[in-house]
Amino acid sequence: MDEQNLIEKLRRIEALYAGATTPGEQIAAANAQERIRERLRILQGQNLVVEYRFSLADMWSRKLFLALLRRYELKPYRRHGQRYTTVMVRVPKKFLDETLWPEFGELNRTLQTYLDEVTDRVISQEICTDSSEAEVKAGPLGIGTSVAPQEYTLGD
């Protein structure tokens, strides 16, 4: 999948969650955002807003989720002391269940597939063609060695 195909697929997903039912409506995906925002305004007007906490461990999913919240004019935040991976938002439950979370799930799967394909292609072309997983060795960690393995974690 190339970048243009990715963008088109993301637009089709958005049109689906905006309630587009005909091919003509799906082509008019630019109007999808406004239909979704209007649905959200109606639900917010009914005072059905709930505070939610989301934990999104990978940065790509977190960035996508933040962008989706902001697209619908929702205000993501974190409380003091919460982890960087935590996203808080006040949103109507019905909107979350019927639109926001399902749309995020499909967009996230699509984006992850694209990122996986690009990563695999770049690594195999520029680093090493062997992209197999690490060998699994039998026995518990540390058996047969005199020193415990040192641990490194990305981001520390």
Q: With pLDDT > 90 as the criterion, what percentage of the chain qualifies? A: 39
* Between 55 and 148, residue with greater pLDDT: 55
* 74 vs 28: CA distance, rounded Å: 23
Q: Where are the domains of the chain?
A: 11-126
Per-residue pLDDT averaged across 1-8, rounded? 75
pLDDT at 111: 92
pLDDT at 8: 79
* Between 65 and 154, residue with greater pLDDT: 65
Q: What is the pLDDT of residues 13-32, one digit of tens each?
A: 777 777 655 666 555 655 67
pLDDT at 76: 96
pLDDT at 96: 92
Q: What is the pLDDT of residues 30-76, one digit of tens each?
A: 567 777 777 778 777 776 789 999 999 899 999 999 999 999 999 99
Amino acid identity at 146: S
How many Cβ atoms are within 10 Å of 144's Cβ, its own excluded? 7
**Neighbour-count burial for 10-43, b at 16+ CB within 10 Å, e otherwise:** bebbbbbbbebeeeeebeebeebeebbeebbeeb
Per-residue pLDDT averaged across 101-107, rounded? 93
- Architecture field, domain 11-126: 2-Layer Sandwich (3.30)
Q: With pLDDT > 70 as the criterion, what percentage of the chain qualifies? A: 81
* Between 6 and 88, residue with greater pLDDT: 88
Per-residue pLDDT averaged across 82-105, rounded? 92
pLDDT at 156: 47
Q: Is the full-model pTM beyond 0.85?
A: no
Residue 66 structure tokens: 């933040």
**What average pLDDT does the structure give for the chain?**
82
